[in-house]
Chain A
């Protein structure tokens, strides 16, 4: 509880709000990852954490370090840009790999019914 940077009041409140909002959105995304039924719906919720959650927490960190050192601190933007650029690439590749594996097994989720049964473990 003692480990807190020495920020002025307005910056402390703003950093607290940004970090809390980012953490809540990430938690919502992860609960969605746990609760969704099929793989193709599960692909969506984690992006909540890697887009909005990352942006909000990075904004809080940026504000905190800019006020602490009394000069603009921009190195956190590197993480935001990197995660924003790479998440779509990985999830698109993962979705295509899953689609390929499903088609090899003989059922096509793109043309099939909305609810298709989960196959056995493989």
Chain B
């Protein structure tokens, strides 16, 4: 019984995270300005990281955790670089 509940909860959580990824992608597409697109990209990678964590719980493997950690690291760096680019017009001065 509890296994069925857990299976359904994980599936519903994945659907919810997929919907929020769609929302973030939509914001990144419609803009209207560059900073809105960067914001959409940022929340897209956070949602993808959470999706991978839920996959990890579902399969019971730690493989997905490492992928989630890499997404978090690279996403932080990319958003930082994009914000710097919007501010100055170049990333490395």
Please list the residues of chain A having a beta carbon within 8 angstroms of any beta carbon in chain B. Answer: 1-9, 12-13, 15-17, 19-20, 22-24, 26-27, 29-31, 33-34, 39, 42-43, 46, 49-50, 53-54, 57-58, 60-61, 64-65, 68, 75-76, 78-79, 82-83, 86-87, 89-91, 93-94, 96-98, 100-101, 118-119, 121-122
The reply to whether A64 and B2 contact each other, CB–CB distance below 8 Å, is no
Contact residue among B10, B32, B56, B65 (Cβ-Cβ distance under 8 Å from A118): B32
Given contacts A22-B50, A75-B62, A121-B33, contact A42 B84 (CB under 8 A): no
The reply to whether A46 and B39 contact each other, CB–CB distance below 8 Å, is yes
Given contacts A23-B16, A27-B19, contact A97 B58 (CB under 8 A): no
Q: How many pairs of residues, A versus B, come closer than 8 Å at their CB atoms?
A: 195
Given contacts A19-B57, A33-B39, contact A7 B87 (CB under 8 A): no
The reply to whether B9 and A19 contact each other, CB–CB distance below 8 Å, is yes
The reply to whether A4 and B49 contact each other, CB–CB distance below 8 Å, is no
Please list the residues of chain B having a beta carbon within 8 angstroms of any beta carbon in chain A. Answer: 1-3, 5-14, 16-17, 19-21, 23-24, 26-27, 31-36, 38-40, 42-43, 46-47, 49-50, 53-54, 56-60, 62, 65, 68-69, 72-73, 76, 79-80, 83-84, 86-87
The reply to whether B50 and A12 contact each other, CB–CB distance below 8 Å, is no
The reply to whether B69 and A78 contact each other, CB–CB distance below 8 Å, is yes
Bound state CA distance, A75 and B62, in angstroms? 9
Contact residue among A12, A19, A31, A93 (Cβ-Cβ distance under 8 Å from B83): A93
Bound state CA distance, A27 and B50, in angstroms? 11
Best-buried of A1, A34, A87, A91 by chain B (most CB within 10 Å) = A34
- Beyond A42-B36, A79-B65, A122-B33, 16 extra complex contacts between A and B, CB < 8 Å: A1-B11, A3-B59, A26-B17, A30-B20, A33-B24, A33-B43, A34-B26, A39-B36, A39-B39, A46-B43, A50-B43, A60-B57, A61-B53, A86-B76, A89-B80, A98-B33
